Amino acid sequence: MSSRPRIAGFVAEGKTRYGLIREDGVVDLSSRNQWPTLREVIADGALRRLADSGAGLAADYAVSDITYAIPVPHPEKILCVGVNFPDRNEEYKDGSAAPKFPSLFPRFPGSFVGHGVPLTRPFASPQLDYEGEVVLVIGKEGRHIAEADALDHVAALTLCNEGTIRDWVRHAKFNVTQGKNFEGTGSIGPWLVPYEDESQLADIRLTSKVNGELRQDDRSSRMTFGFRFLISYISTFTKLIPGDIIVTGTPTGAGARFDPPKWLVPGDVVEVEADGIGILRNGVVDEVRP
């Protein structure tokens, strides 16, 4: 478990809030500060200041009394990176060399739920898959950002289970958007860990487990496109703004790569874990037909 502050968005007593997650409970900081949401906290560069403001306060809620939300509400952009580990490229068995540039696609906020909230297996397809990933949350606006300056634009780290409907990512020749955006199929969280220095990113061990079985296990140092490059490359074509989310790619070991495939089913529990960030845990339920 990270010793750094853990700042989360959550719902308690019917109201959306944000605060500090501690071993003894949750400190509600949204009622004690001027920022409406964590997105404004990020824009002001105030995550660490926010965390410090709650250090001496008594907990307002037990963790069991809250429902986690995705940490950044209403992000303008959620950009995801595909095939960003060497073994993932080899999984395609097409003899292709490592790509020169990253594959990118967008996801919509409604396709994600928070930590502890079940993922939804849609009735349109049973092929719900998991992908554990490290997430960068942008804290400073920038365009044409140099690689040397890229990490200055990071506010925080979190995790993603980039849940995917596998047959729907193959409906078209070149895009994967459909299979990546079913409502509630992925998760982000559990909280934001403020970014302080590059040691937090240098060699993160990233794992995914399904019902306790280790499925994915790799390290960020092996990524094909590193964190600095991704920020620089993306900022070439779009202006990054505070609260933007970059989901940086998953290791080998997703369910689609087993023979036969191991799709997620109701009752499964997926845990995505990363050094210094925490564990993002979600169950699985079936979508309710309208």
> Using one digit for the tens of pLDDT, what is the confidence trace for 152-173?
999 999 999 999 999 999 999 8
Per-residue pLDDT averaged across 173-195, rounded?
Answer: 96
pLDDT tens-digit readout, 266-280: 999 999 999 999 999
Instruction: Give the chain's mean pLDDT.
Output: 95
Per-residue pLDDT averaged across 88-100, rounded?
Answer: 63
Please report the domains of the chain, with CATH numbers, ordered by start residue. Answer: 7-67 (no CATH), 72-286 (3.90.850.10)
Quote the pLDDT of residue 1. Answer: 40
Quote the pLDDT of residue 95. Answer: 63
d(CA 22, CA 75) in angstroms, rounded, equals: 25
d(CA 226, CA 147) in angstroms, rounded, equals: 10
pLDDT tens-digit readout, 11-58: 999 999 999 999 999 999 999 999 999 999 999 999 999 999 998 999
Per-residue pLDDT averaged across 76-95, rounded?
Answer: 78
pTM listed for this prediction = 0.95
Quote the pLDDT of residue 93. Answer: 54
- Determine what percent of the chain is predicted with pLDDT higher than 70: 96
d(CA 278, CA 109) in angstroms, rounded, equals: 21
Please, which pLDDT band fits residue 94 given cuts at 50, 70 and 90?
Answer: low
pLDDT at 218 over 80: yes
d(CA 55, CA 173) in angstroms, rounded, equals: 52
CA dist 168 to 105, 180, 257, Å?
14, 8, 16
Cβ within 8 Å of residue 249, ≥6 positions away: 81, 82, 83, 84, 85, 88, 102, 133, 223, 224, 225
